[in-house]
Amino acid sequence: MTKTEKKENQTIIKNSINHLEATGFENIKADLEGYDTPKSYLRKGTKMKITPDIVAEKNGRKYFFDISLKSQKTSLLKTKWLFLDTISRLKSHRFQIITTRGHYKFTDNLLKDLNLTSRNTIRI
């Protein structure tokens, strides 16, 4: 999700956090009131800051979550997902995508374009 979409869709982020808490995730960080903000990563070359939507821990392992919603800025979303996937692989973390009803096909198409079809999406 891009910054402008985060402001518009805070209820989806809250629902996602509630789902993660119910499934046993701890130390949840998100860009919402009452939560710490996740660490931003600076992508070299473009000077672009990339921040995961939600960061949480489960069984001592860190998970990055990004919420997938239909967007016109697909290239920005693709670069963000590839970057987070690469960082999670380098540091032995996990990266998952959360999507909601009405956005499943959009998410699956983007994952196919990026060749990340092995990623399990969390459907809320």
Q: What is the pLDDT along the chain (124 residues), one digit of tens a residue?
A: 666 777 778 889 999 999 999 999 999 999 888 899 999 988 788 888 899 999 999 999 999 999 998 888 888 889 899 999 999 999 999 999 999 988 989 999 999 999 887 777 898 8
- What letters, b where the CB count within 10 A reaches 16 and e where it falls short, cover 57-77? eeeeeebbbbbbbebeeeeeb
Distances (CA, A) of 68 to 54, 55, 73, 91, 93: 12, 15, 12, 23, 19
Q: Report the pLDDT value the prediction gives residue 124, as an integer from 0 to 100.
A: 87
pTM of the model: 0.90
Q: Report the pLDDT value the prediction gives residue 58, as an integer from 0 to 100.
A: 95
